[in-house]
Structure 1
Amino acid sequence: MMTRDNHKNGDQLSILGFGCMRFPMKGTGIDETRSIAMIRNSIEKGVNYFDTAYFYHGGKSESLLGKALRDGYRERVKIATKLPPFMLSKLEGAKKIFDTQLSRLQTDYIDYYLLHMLTDKPSYDRMVDMGVLKWMEELKEAGTIKNIGFSFHGSKNDFEQIVTAYPWDFCQIQYNYLDENNQATKSGLMLAHSLGIPVIVMEPLRGGRLVNNLPKEVLKTFQHYDKDRSPAEWALRWIWNHPEVHVILSGMSDEAQVEENICVAKDAPPNSLSEEELHIFDQVKTIMHEKTKVPCTACGYCMPCPYGVDIPGCFAAYNSKYLLEDKNARFKYLQTLGVLSKQPAFASVCTECGKCERHCPQNIEIRKELKVVRKEMEGVLFKTIVKGARTYLKLRKFKA
């Protein structure tokens, strides 16, 4: 297993991290026997970074990981888990969640602690105003938290604002060859690197869709170069080729995935892809681009929208629905473009002022396309669902 150096603290992190949100299931719950065996087997083969969160697997993921790391395994790994800002109304709520997490994980410290799923600058500001960042700093000083970071799902502009707002120990972004221009984007990755902030990558395979839902033309392109290299290996190698990436998180749900990913991670140094291999990705991205509904590159020139629409985010969700046959695209659209952010940023927020179109390098008819997105991604009950979800989350917030 190859490692990369976290220059901020000297940690040698395995380039493959175990994402603990897709454990194998047995009936309606986690298959504990298989999951624990997979975790321990991966540790024996060099994986030392495990990423979980407060609500993964309905709150069972942290507990399962805690069980798996008994018998001396805890001391061999780094645990990353997350605090959900959208469940907080007071600092006391954060403290209760953290105590629960320590208990579930059967540990007295967290190596990498993240603010979970920040979507915009206001969501970060709310944590500052609530005193959460100051509290996390106190825990770090006491050694109960080793590193403070955040995971991100939002627009390029918001990522830039958040990553420069605080001296983060690390950050976590969605990044793969399809999302090079989505969410934080490649420029966000480079910005974090320029600031000396280690980057953890999530969704390297887009939840498996860069393996199971690729257009046949893409599969043929990959196979023409190397018929024995799987789409998963292609996708992982593309990310590991970036020296700015420290760890890739893979949500492995069976033993075969663990074995394949570990095998690839034994020999995936940065800048190792040949010019011919990089050309293969250029061809693949061209095919994907041609099959994309809206040719948005998420450059951000159309932003900010004076009425709050996340234009690149709307197009990314819409494109994902059709390009990769993403059955969860509507849910993700609902979740990341308003339910968890300060204010809704959906296509239906658009007032058709046209300001965005004057700045679009691709000359996209943004107002027209947003109407299509609204029709495809929203429905008659959409606004009612959004309102209900936001109310529900507000009621779920911990109150001391």
Structure 2
Amino acid sequence: MEVLSPGQAVALVRQAWDAGINIYDTAAAYGSGQSEVVLGAALREVPRGQVVICTKLEANRCASREEFRYWFMASLARLGVERVDILFLHGLKLQSWEERILPRGLDREWAEWLAAGRVGSIGFSSHDTPDNVRNLLATGCFAAVILQYNLLDERYAGALAEAHARGMGTAVMGPMAGGLLAGEDSVWAEAVTASGVRDQRELALRYVLQQPFVDVALAGVTDFAMLHHCTVTAEKDTPLAAAARPLIARAQAAHHCRQSIYCTFCKYCLPCPHGVNVPLNLKVLMLAEQHQAGVVAQRMYERIGVDPLLPGKTAVFCTGCGQCARRCPQKLDTVDLLHRTRRLFGP
């Protein structure tokens, strides 16, 4: 995946705006706040009322209303705005909601921001269990939600449908499964042909967008070609061919049969104290074991830390400290997977 310079990122966001995209999602945790800086710079000349700016804060880490307020004001400053349209609680879990956020009065803090017009609406993103997400929806405290949903992972379909039925805004993260659906895999070939789409990426994105409970798909765009592909795809409002449905289901079943790892490349496992690029190493492992791309995976592994587009260290530098595993929202045994990567590809 290409690493954009701040200037390239600003240009990409402006191109997205010119293409008609009017909702943008960022977070204080993305790039240690640099994502907010870039987004704010890119949208500075756009009339404020014509764009929806969303950011996310890890409220569960705030020990008090004062700390929560500090980080919110810091986000506003980085974005260069006086208000955000939707503030999402980042990676919310039911346990942290009940044991930290409510007892610390953080809900009373954002109620004041809503009343003052500094925030348009409050939402949350989550990797918690579907049942726990439904319990969070049932609180009635939120106007929007961001959940994972794609051809490979439909665990949150019920929760998204419930949120939609409640009148909440629904946004989907990972519509292309962290890039796993962005390439070409023979498993999906028949489904692509029957669907009448250009390629696997279009199938993945249109599958998400045609769901009645999805309002927005948050695609992680990293270059102008990808942006063009996404915008052209999003403009197609016709449903996928009905004849493709059984072939899509068959491809999903085939993929799940061979899938032993499901890393979404969310990067919550980073930073590694020893510099290991955990998600990149797992992507290499998945390419080899689940996508029959062993040669490509070997070459990619050998370029980690050498190619500036593949930064960090290989799995050989893993000490087994387990910090990454404790942070993983998918509950992967990342230490074991890194050791497996090292055994497969060597030092």
**Which TM class, normalised by the smaller chain length?**
0.7 to 0.9
Task: Rate the CA distance shift 1:171–1:337 in 2: closer, same or farther, 3 A.
Answer: closer
Q: Give a deviation string over 1:119-150, Cα, whole Å, max 9, x none.
A: x3111121111111121111111111001000
- Are residues 1:171 and 2:163 paired? no
Q: What does residue 236 of structure 2 align with? A: 267
> Aligned-pair distance for 1:226?
6.1
Task: Rate the CA distance shift 1:278–1:141 in 2: closer, same or farther, 3 A.
Answer: same
- Are residues 1:217 and 2:184 paired? no
What SS does the corresponding residue of 1:173 show, helix, strand or coil?
A: strand
Unmatched runs of 5 consecutive residues or more in structure 2: 262-281, 302-313, 315-321, 340-347
Q: What does residue 219 of structure 2 align with? A: 250
Q: Cα RMSD over matched residues? A: 3.0
- Are residues 1:123 and 2:96 paired? yes
Distance 1:200 1:236 in 2: 13
- Are residues 1:52 and 2:44 paired? no
Q: What does residue 318 of structure 2 align with? A: none
TM-score normalised to the size of structure 1? Answer: 0.65
Q: What does residue 327 of structure 2 align with? A: 335
Task: Rate the CA distance shift 1:223–1:83 in 2: closer, same or farther, 3 A.
Answer: closer
Contact persistence 1:153–1:336 (CA under 8 A): no
Q: What does residue 160 of structure 2 align with? A: 189
2:117 to 139, 143, 164: 143
Q: Give a deviation string over 1:176-227, Cα, whole Å, max 9, x none.
A: 111113xxx2111122122222211111112211123x64322x32454368
Distance 1:167 1:84 in 2: 17
Contact persistence 1:154–1:336 (CA under 8 A): no
2:199 to 230, 247, 252: 230
Distance 1:333 1:74 in 2: 40
Contact persistence 1:333–1:377 (CA under 8 A): no
Contact persistence 1:117–1:151 (CA under 8 A): yes
Task: Rate the CA distance shift 1:230–1:89 in 2: closer, same or farther, 3 A.
Answer: same
1:104 to 78, 85, 93: 78
> Aligned-pair distance for 1:155?
1.1
Contact persistence 2:94–2:128 (CA under 8 A): no
Distance 1:110 1:64 in 2: 15
User: Larger RCO: Structure 1 or Structure 2 (Cα < 8 Å, ≥ 6 residues apart)?
Assistant: 1
> Aligned-pair distance for 1:33?
2.3
Q: What does residue 180 of structure 1 align with? A: 154
Task: Rate the CA distance shift 1:337–1:56 in 2: closer, same or farther, 3 A.
Answer: closer
> Aligned-pair distance for 1:91?
1.4
Distance 1:374 1:33 in 2: 34
Distance 1:259 1:375 in 2: 37
Matches within 5 A, 1:341-356: none
Q: What does residue 355 of structure 1 align with? A: none
Matches within 5 A, 1:283-302: 283-293=250-260
What SS does the corresponding residue of 2:90 show, helix, strand or coil?
A: strand
What SS does the corresponding residue of 1:262 show, helix, strand or coil?
A: helix
